[in-house]
Chains A and B, each alone.
Chain A
């Protein structure tokens, strides 16, 4: 039994009654009225607080812009005030959310967030703060940037508390479990929950958190739930303190109050704390990874999707080289839909800046799927980049038993708290079970030494192809079994290797997969979109009992039967024009296939696809079709184009020219831009999409780099048409010869002319017309 630390209560409400005006910033108020703020903090010390949070919650560069005050000064002065009030008790540098949402939801980048936090932390460290507290966060990615900034720029202890809704998720979807897993991995010194809810509502959430981490816990609840109409809180200090008693049984490290609490609350809380806490029940360590919203525990078969790996995949290689993230994102979504639990990310293409590419791909993938990631590279720098920019806790793939490799990779994995795949090999390929076991044991020992938990160590016993080394397959299976049962480690295998070089690979792959699962493979790396692989795993889950009462198996195959029936009824031939008009992708594909038997591919494009799209455009103009129909048709035609592109030799001129497209700086509305992009692509243009909120200089630079002669700009707000104008001016000044077409809700033909655009397109059809005028 020992007394938990007592934190302070609310600052906001107290400072308002001390004279803070509406809209005035508390951090600045303190500079003008240091005594008023010190008085509040002294009251908290008198009430029993062991730790004071400095009045620096919003003292960041973003919130303080245009105030005339700089961050270092605000932090130094406010820490000074707190230190004087603390009378020897601890002072925490308090850091709240930046106040701008991070990409992809908002526009704030991870690196910018890091810099903003770094400025605060350096100032707090220099001003003599005893620790750093991040509180009231709802975005785990923002927290990650903050924690890294704190750990990389100071030696101070780091505490993090986030705010949840009653269902245990933050506004951005982070669960209590994902928060705990991620922050535990990042090595914070304590974590917990503050604000948003009262003690009663937070308790079950803290209970959940306690099961996912061995780190000390913090609770700083509001004074119950406020009256929504007035925002006032009702519970008394005594009730609050009574409700906090349960937290003592959990073995809480520190507790205090948030919105609505006052020194009276803290006084009562201090009395409650005298009872002392129980010993914390330490949770069992379980191997796991997570994204910001999805936790994957290694207690069953988890499928790792293999498809984001350019080795042997020409189209992905090309997509990476041309930064075509749509292609990559589609691979990610398809695998997630196919049942992958984790996604492997490998961007190793010769001649590429792998580290830079890793960042781009990781951020693109996690913007569209919520699966945890496995960072797959042999380059230490690319691995570290992947670990840094991945949200959540990831797996590193891989190290091997080679000393220099272990020395290079393990500290990086340990820094970010990643799980690690160890290849059971040194320089050469092992030829026996024992060799594999020896390597595995060495990797385990070194990983444990580096501070990686045993449950986060995953051994890859190496799949070698049976067409070359037939004797090895059985050894691999035996090694998997032994690593699992004798060493108690998790196992992974790149299953698909087994049948490399053989015809009809899926049969051998599925058979090997099932054998390996039975031997103890729990993290198979496979193609989840392969029917036979997915069927095999589903079947094995039913056989092993993991799929209770075969429910998943039944629903999977019962649904399949229905689909088959539908396919048969729809399988009627259709001419290409009708198929495109109706917006039917697979019918268009079939019709294209049929035409290609007798026609030249370019002729199919020019005499079939484009004319069909023209009819669609015409009907759209006459209001015979409306927007979804236009896009469905464009998508259908796109299927035909894709098929033809595959048949045409590269650079045969199937592209009708390059177009740069972007939503201008400051604007984040990109649906209109994306519609235009789909339509233009499906007219056969090579569209280079720069995304949204694109800086003026980026548009200019990429236009010149790509030697594009048509630039399409989109803006939805009157407030951002100004940056459209600046973008056009900069393009003109660069001297690069190009036409500019603009579009967006607030634009008109006259407006477009006024800002210097060459063309105005009121809809996607007009964009395509403009492209034809300019590029042919």
Chain B
């Protein structure tokens, strides 16, 4: 499965920017389009994954703490562990733009957040399709930081996937992923259909200090 970046929707980018219906003139519209295009052009997304056996709601060879991940994997026979990154190219673009035009950089930063989500969404739907053909069902995508799954798990997932060697992704001692626009996640595989919940604020660890919630809106991630 190749990493696939298919689209960076402008409304998603705006949402990350905290947009609340302000009027957007031609200059800003063009600026948004240019920044999104620059991100698309320079991004070289990469991902790596493994399919692992699950026993008693636990992934073999991967210790994950918390009740939420156990609940996710209940009744699953296997699970997918995945790591994806937009790569150092994206980060270099941002570093350079932060020097020349901070407003562009802010837009690109949001465009890149949108882009990595898109890569993960595409992976998830590709997998759903592939396993669907075998009569299997997938759970929601679950990342460290959701619910009570600690950020610490990022390191465990990355190490299991040998993500440094395969996609150039490392996790620092402070649990920061480098390159920064990166995601690790778990998806359960089950013989029976799963109720998918749209991931909402309830399962989000950032809910207490969320910028969107503070403004009375949601991020829709």
Interface residues of A (CB under 8 A from B): 22-23, 97, 99-101, 104-107, 136, 138, 163, 170-173, 195-196, 228-231, 326, 329-330, 333, 367-369, 582-584, 623-629, 631-632, 634-635, 666-671, 674-675, 678, 717, 719-720, 745-748
Contact = CB atoms under 8 A, between A and B. Distances in A.
A720 B96 CA distance: 25
A106 B28 contact: no
B27 interface: yes
Interface stretch (B14-22, B68-76, B192-200): B14-22
Given A582-B25, A674-B98, A105 B178 contact: yes
B221 interface: no
Of the candidates A99, A105, A326, A717, the one having the most CB atoms from chain B within 10 angstroms of its own CB is A105
Interface in B141-200: 151, 159-160, 164-165, 167-168, 170, 172-176, 178-180
Contacts of A748: 209
Interface string B53-81: 00000000100000000000000000000
18 contacts: A105-B92, A105-B179, A136-B165, A173-B89, A173-B92, A229-B50, A330-B99, A369-B96, A623-B20, A623-B215, A625-B22, A629-B22, A632-B31, A669-B176, A670-B98, A674-B98, A674-B105, A745-B211
Contacts of B102: 631, 634-635, 674-675, 678
B103 to A, nearest CB: 4
Contacts of A333: 96, 99-100
B31 A628 contact: yes
A690 to B, nearest CB: 15
Given A105-B91, A229-B51, A717-B174, A628 B103 contact: yes
A12 B159 CA distance: 14
Given A163-B165, A333-B96, A748-B209, A627 B17 contact: yes
B45 interface: no
A724 to B, nearest CB: 12
Contacts of B99: 326, 329-330, 333, 368
B48 A228 contact: yes
Nearest to A163: B165
A104 B88 CA distance: 10
B130 to A, nearest CB: 10
A584 B27 CA distance: 9
B50 A667 contact: no
A720 B174 contact: yes
Q: Which 6 A-B pairs have the closest CB atoms?
A: A171-B168, A631-B103, A678-B102, A229-B51, A719-B174, A368-B96
B124 to A, nearest CB: 15
A172 B87 CA distance: 8
Contacts of A667: 174, 176
A296 B165 CA distance: 29
B95 interface: yes
B19 A172 contact: no
B211 to A, nearest CB: 7
Given A104-B95, A136-B165, A229-B51, A626 B101 contact: no
B154 to A, nearest CB: 11
Contacts of A23: 159
Contact of A629 (B28, B51, B94, B172): B28
Nearest to A22: B61
B136 interface: no
Given A101-B170, A106-B172, A666-B174, A671 B88 contact: no
A226 to B, nearest CB: 9
A23 B1 CA distance: 26
A668 B178 contact: yes
- The size bracket of the interface on B is 35 or more
Nearest to B168: A171
Given A229-B50, A675-B102, A626 B172 contact: no
Contacts of B96: 333, 368-369
A632 B103 contact: yes
Contacts of A627: 17-18, 106
A626 B165 contact: no
Contacts of B168: 138, 170-172
B165 A671 contact: no
Contacts of A101: 170, 178
Nearest to B102: A678
Given A99-B164, A99-B170, A172-B168, 6 more contacts: A105-B178, A105-B179, A163-B165, A171-B46, A171-B87, A719-B176
A608 B81 CA distance: 57
B49 interface: yes
B170 A196 contact: no
Contacts of B103: 583, 628, 631-632, 635
Given A22-B61, A748-B209, A668 B167 contact: no
B12 to A, nearest CB: 15
A635 B99 CA distance: 12
Contacts of A329: 99
Given A330-B100, A631-B103, A717 B109 contact: no
A717 B154 CA distance: 14
A101 B168 CA distance: 9
A220 to B, nearest CB: 14
A171 B22 CA distance: 39
Nearest to B156: A23
Contacts of A678: 102
A369 B92 CA distance: 9
Contact of B94 (A626, A632, A671, A675): A671
Contacts of B39: none
B107 interface: yes
A538 to B, nearest CB: 23
Given A584-B27, A632-B28, A107 B172 contact: yes
A671 B106 contact: yes
